[in-house]
Amino acid sequence: MMKDQEIAVTIKEYYRRFRRWQQSGPHYVNRHEGSVQHCHNCGTEFADNFCPRCGQRAGVGRVGWDSIKENIAILWGLDSRSLTYTLVQLLGRPGYLVREYISGRRQVSFPPIKMLVIVCLFVVIFETVFHLHKDVVSLTFNDQSVSKVIEWINSQKSWATLLVNSLFILPTWLVFRYAPAYPRHTLPEGFFLQVFLSVLALILGFVGYVSETVETIIDLIFMYITYRQLFGYGRWGTLWRLVVVELSQMAVVAIFVATVIVYLYEENDRDTMIIAFQIILVSVIVLTTVMLYVTHIINKRTFNRELMGS
């Protein structure tokens, strides 16, 4: 019995340490404090990691073997803003990392769009070496022209993932605009949020080679964690708002699929299909608009109430 209690206490302690690590964020370390550095680019003397005048890194001198290593490291994202470091941060504390980046702390992260391209390149190499394949858009149609478009989209895995995730930008802005931890969320910030989530989706895609169902569940869990850490709502507050965002994205996909089906339908039955499509389209748009509007009003009133209370 004592052993079980000790294990429980140990697990709780590790969890507390993990939570402290999540919330602490990155720390700036001055490796040259107390030592005067001479910038070979502009001649300024300083005691920091970078020259305050031109931004060149301390310790840079004549080209040598280390210069080759450093340039290769920069190309593959292993320099001061390490790609591997950012991926660990993204998997361990995704919402906090995104908040730090979009609020102005750019140096905490490897450039997200560049990270998306590099991770996608690694995924493509992995699929080629191990003869695996998994589409971003798994819809199939008999029409050759539509199939070619979908095939081209799947060949551009990084941009296709970002395109699918971009459908979340507007609903996220409407649903989380008055969030307690990050109010006044903007559309450009939403774009970079989805870039980070696209990187996560590509990484979690490795699970999809074993089970796509498990991949979908894990992807939704990471979305929930990201939104909760970024916006600061509680468990249920984040959950029901995330459901609204997901339903909005599904509505856009449903409209797209219905449009393609009407386009591919036989000419003699197309009039009937167009009428049915119009009914579905209007219904989906009205329901989605009402759902987003009601959520927006609830958030705004809650935010104003908390603002007045403080």
DSSP letter assigned to residue 76: T
Beta bridge partners of 82: none
Rounded Cα distance between 256 and 15, Å, is 44
Q: Do residues 140 and 257 make contact, with C-beta atoms less than 8 angstroms apart? A: no
Residue 93's CB is within 10 A of a number of other CB atoms, namely 22
Could you tell me the CA-to-CA distances from 270 to 52, 89, 99 in Å, in that order? 67, 51, 48
User: Is the pLDDT confidence value at 108 over 70?
Assistant: yes
Give tens-digit pLDDT for 121-144.
Answer: 888 888 888 888 777 777 676 667
Taking each helix axis from N to C terminus, what angle separates 212-231 and 94-102, rounded to the nearest 10 degrees?
A: 50
Residue type, 127: E
Give tens-digit pLDDT for 220-247.
Answer: 999 999 999 999 999 998 999 999 899 8
Tell me what percent of the residues of the chain surpass a pLDDT of 70: 77
Q: What is the pLDDT of residue 197?
A: 95
DSSP letter assigned to residue 54: T
The mean predicted confidence, pLDDT, of the chain is 80
> Which element (helix H / strand E) includes 46?
strand 45-46
> Which element (helix H / strand E) includes 178?
none
Rounded Cα distance between 35 and 33, Å, is 6
Q: What is the pLDDT of residue 299?
A: 76
And the tokens for 108? Answer: 């905490």
pTM as predicted: 0.80
